[in-house]
Amino acid sequence: MDRRFQLLVAVTALAVVIPQSTDAQEWTRFRGPNGTGISEAESIPTKWTEADYNWKIDLPGIGHASPVLWGEKIFIHTADILNGTRPATAESETATRSVMCLHASDGRTLWKKSFPSTLAKGYRVRAQNSLASSTPVVDTKHVYTAWSQGDATTLKVFTHDGELVWERELGPYLSGHGFCTSPIVFDNLVILQLHQRLPRDEDPVESTESRVIALDCKTGQTVWKTARENSLSATHAVPFLYTRTDGSVELVVSSRKYGITAYNPRTGAVNWSLESLDRRPIGSPISASGLVFGTSGSGSGRDENKVVAVRPGPSPELVYEVKKHVPYVPTLIAKDDLVFLWCDKGGIVTCIDGPSGEVHWKERVGGDFFSSPIIIGDRIFCTDVQGTTVVLAASQDYRLLAKNRLRDNMHASPAVAGGRLYLRTFHHLISLGGKKR
């Protein structure tokens, strides 16, 4: 065998067997890869002070969308009005929405695209929400952003260098809380769920149909659209992709009207559905232990909130429910057969056995939470509204590892990429980590 060919074979084999660093992970959508909220980064500290930050920058406007990353580029969505500062029934006014790209090494702005939006008269947004709560999604070529001003819902797509590729206007959006669902990408499709509430006499816009819609990533043309009936409340949960035992993939969406529904992500056909949710879904569905978990509830914090564990398939089965100390806004998170429920009010955290629902432990960590928890290695991170990041052991035994102050309020969920943790507060973006613990 030729010596040069032998060397080429040896080098190729070496390239195949060397695993990619766990710190090289991209964070492409809300809660990272497929919405799991899981990172295996080995370079994020458990405890920190401001002296440990890589950098901390001011952000223009306010938004609760999470940052997303591809390579060394951070994409973030922001707006210049926090709706809680104005009357819920104000006259029409103009806000500015912006999509920004920052460099991950130092937080400097690479580009910023801003667009005026004239809010529909009487457009209602919950005080804890913002005009920039929808997290973008990024793939190898594009970044996709969505928002609504009540009488119009817009999806804009940019290259990584900030050039507008296409945009679509998707019609009015009815919700008493504003708009905060986020798009996802599957193959060559960008998918957005638009489950809306039933119209009321005082609504500022006419009713429009609820639907789940998939657009071609390159052109913005509709590939499929599945019409849905409006419900008593809109859905803000973000879909995820469930891989069945036969290797096929389903798009899982939660809604008040239909409960947990699985679609064929290439055609929009409904594979199965189980009416199992009584209230508004805000936390996104997840999977663990071969089950699909969904949440629904209300902001009252009463016993209306619940978790459902569903066995997916052509004949879906409700395996069990959890109705005590269930989160309303924060999404569940799972590690192996452990599922963690992080409550909004009082910071009550529950660890349950995924297959059975049995409670392993339940503890109060304190604080109020809108951010969703993430797991980095063997630790759970979640930041409360007041800006304290609580770190727990992601284990069957309760262990409080740290509480770290950020000195700013926070509703957004964290992101992890390139071995660094990114925390988006009301007014800042913080980069942390990058060195082996």
Query: E strand or H helix at 86, and its extent?
Result: none
Element (H, E) at 165: strand 164-169
Taking CB atoms within 8 Å and a gap of at least 24, the contacts of 421-425 are 421/41, 421/44, 421/376, 421/381, 422/27, 422/67, 422/69, 422/74, 423/383, 423/389, 424/59, 424/63, 424/64, 424/65, 424/66, 424/67, 424/76, 425/387
Phi, psi dihedral angles at 423 (to 5 degrees): -120, 115
C-alpha 412/C-alpha 59 separation (Å) is 13
Give 208: exposed, middle or buried? Use CB within 10 Å, 0-12, 13-18, 19+: middle
The b/e string for 264-291 (b: 16+ C-beta within 10 A; e otherwise) is ebeebeebbbbebbebbbbbbbbbbbeb
Fold classification of 25-328+428-433 (topology level): Lipocalin (2.40.128)
Alpha carbon distance 377, 25 (integer Å): 13
Among 189-203, 228-242, 347-361, 387-401, the least confident range: 189-203
List b or e across 321-349, with b for residues whose CB sees 16 or more CB atoms inside 10 angstroms: ebeebbbbbbbbbbbeebbbbbbbeebbb
Rounded CA gap, 194 and 199, in Å?
Answer: 14
- pLDDT single digits (tens) 225-266: 998 877 777 778 999 999 999 999 999 999 888 899 999 999
- Per-domain boundaries in the chain: 25-328+428-433
Q: Which two tokens stand for residue 406?
A: 């950020």
| pLDDT tens digit sequence for 146-192 | 998 878 899 999 999 999 999 999 988 877 777 888 999 999 999 99
Sign for the pseudo-dihedral over CA of 77, 381, 387, 175? positive
- Residue 80's pLDDT is 81
Q: What percent of the chain shows pLDDT beyond 90?
A: 67
